[in-house]
Structure 1
Amino acid sequence: MRKVKLNLIIIGILTLTVACQEKNKNGTNEGTAIEKQPQVTEKAVKSILTAEEQADMTPEEIIGRLKKGNENFMNNNLTRRDHSAQRRKAMIGQFPKAIVLSCVDSRVPVEDVFDLGIGDIFVARVAGNIENKDIVGSMEFATAVAGSKVVIVMGHTACGAVKSTIDNVDARSMNMNSLADLMDEIRPAVRETKTNGEISSKNETFTNDVITNNTMRTVQNIREASPTMAMMEDEGKINIISAVYDMESGKVTFNKD
């Protein structure tokens, strides 16, 4: 009798096991693992911008590509790149399509913001994205010598340099005369920005307007500081424009100067 019961138990276990296996095969058993679909791996870009490609692009086309790259950044869809291969190819020469003047803020990764890689753009950085002789000289090199066709002055939301200037932080009393001089370059944008509210960095609308106006002032200052670039722009060879990067959304908005 015991043997009969034992045999029945064994048969029951085997039957249950086979049934579970059949359910797994048919995909009808809830909670079972789903078969992995083959993944298509996007090939990493190994090439860099060539002299011919740089020469063939118009300033307007470059701006369009930068906007598309920014969409990729916002959608977390950055291009895969083989940096080792690009680095080796870049040793031959560089033919960037643009130069971007950005703030030093570590939260503004310029190349990523436009989905760009090695050899694509020049990047200059200074707090508050203001111009000076060295910056303008670098831009002249980028455009008149190296062939870049777009100059972008890109500010960003929540800019600490702009906020400190709005709030009249006294950098000189802290023995930071160079920072005070830098803030003096931003101050005209504060004075020229109208507001119905308080003049304070806590006034977000006012602060964002100052940030935009500061980029536009910098563009005008660049034109005045560089007759060469101003002439190139008049001839349609380059565009000098301003933009603002929104740190929350990742969107770059180009201004109409």
Structure 2
Amino acid sequence: MSLNKLVLAASLGLGLSLLPITSFASVPAQTAVSQSAITPDQALQMLIDGNKRFVDGKMVERDLTKQVAATGAGQYPYATIIGCIDSRVPHELVFDAGIGDIFSARIAGNFVNTDILGSVEFATAVAGSKLIVVLGHTSCGAVKGACDNVELGNLTHTLSNIAPAIYATTDIPGVRNSKNKEFVQAVADKNVELTVQNILDRSPVIADLVKQGKVKVVGAMHDVATGQVTFTK
């Protein structure tokens, strides 16, 4: 099957048995029908495929104006991403997604608090998103700042949310600060892992959706040098 047909199938969440499509511009925005047909595993694969297109320079050509019009009366995203505010990790771009495809919560250090958990509960339990991704990234300034015990206004409190990942990272030799790149990356990885667990521990709503098989929660790491996203199950 051609890449065109695969892309359209993924965007609709309807598998691979679609009629031939020759124009990427015809890829529609998500609807209630297409969203409901997507499983958590399919939503994950759609992000994996979208990132591959991004890395390969084969991004879908979308008519964003039409997608704005199509989503004006409602939104039906298939995925929710909790990511860092880093300017090098724009979610819709790195996953080659369209308008109305992704809920995006961004905060320095990609951790969760009560407000973000409430937002993600809305995205899943109310608005029907099938997948939650905690997306960290390499060379994370928030992680570096936390490792260096940076103190600056309200940022001091923000970075304190990364401290558990620092304490839990004990097997990396060398200094325990931003000068040790291996240590910084290990903390970033651990921070994603702990955030995934925090979502399940602190949100009975999401934990129940996961138990029912309606939602999946996964971690991922974005390489800012290549654009590639690696998922952890």
Structure 1, residues 100-142: CA drift from partner, whole Å, max 9, x if none?
Answer: 0110111111101111010101001100011111111110000
Q: Which residue of 2 aligns with 1:192?
A: 168
Structure 2 letter corresponding to 1:186: I
* Aligned mates of 1:50, 1:42 — CA distance in 2: 19
Q: Which residue of 1 aligns with 2:119?
A: 138
Match of 1:49 among 30, 34, 37: 30
- Secondary structure of the corresponding residue to residue 240 of structure 1: strand
The equivalences for 1:112-127 within 5 A come to: 112-127=93-108
Q: Which residue of 2 aligns with 1:210?
A: 187
Structure 1 letter corresponding to 2:186: D
Structure 1, residues 14-37: CA drift from partner, whole Å, max 9, x if none?
Answer: xxxxxxxxxxxxxxxxxxxxxxxx
- Secondary structure of the corresponding residue to residue 231 of structure 1: helix
Is 1:46–1:83's contact at 8 Å kept on the other side of the alignment? Answer: no
Deviation at 1:252, TM superposition (A): 0.6
- Secondary structure of the corresponding residue to residue 168 of structure 1: coil
* Aligned mates of 1:58, 1:83 — CA distance in 2: 25
Q: Structure 1 segments of 4 or more deviating over 2 A?
A: none
Deviation at 1:170, TM superposition (A): 2.6
**Structure 2, unaligned stretches of length 5 or more?**
1-21
Deviation at 1:93, TM superposition (A): 1.1
Q: Which residue of 2 aligns with 1:237?
A: 214
Match of 1:106 among 87, 92, 97: 87
The equivalences for 1:58-137 within 5 A come to: 58-137=39-118
Count of residue pairs brought into register by the alignment:
211
Structure 1 length normalisation: TM-score?
0.79
Deviation at 1:197, TM superposition (A): 1.8
* Aligned mates of 1:238, 1:140 — CA distance in 2: 11
Match of 2:159 among 180, 183, 199: 183
The equivalences for 1:213-224 within 5 A come to: 213-224=190-201
* Aligned mates of 1:57, 1:77 — CA distance in 2: 23
The equivalences for 1:138-177 within 5 A come to: 138-171=119-152, 176=153
Is 1:46–1:85's contact at 8 Å kept on the other side of the alignment? Answer: no
Structure 2 length normalisation: TM-score?
0.87
Is 2:24–2:60's contact at 8 Å kept on the other side of the alignment? Answer: no
* Aligned mates of 1:98, 1:46 — CA distance in 2: 17
Is 2:110–2:134's contact at 8 Å kept on the other side of the alignment? Answer: yes
Instruction: State the structure with more CA Rg.
Output: 1
Is 1:113–1:250's contact at 8 Å kept on the other side of the alignment? Answer: yes
Q: Which residue of 2 aligns with 1:253?
A: 230
Deviation at 1:42, TM superposition (A): 4.5
Deviation at 1:43, TM superposition (A): 4.5
Is 2:134–2:195's contact at 8 Å kept on the other side of the alignment? Answer: yes
* Aligned mates of 2:66, 2:27 — CA distance in 1: 5
* Aligned mates of 1:114, 1:107 — CA distance in 2: 13
* Aligned mates of 1:199, 1:46 — CA distance in 2: 48
Identity rate, percent: 45
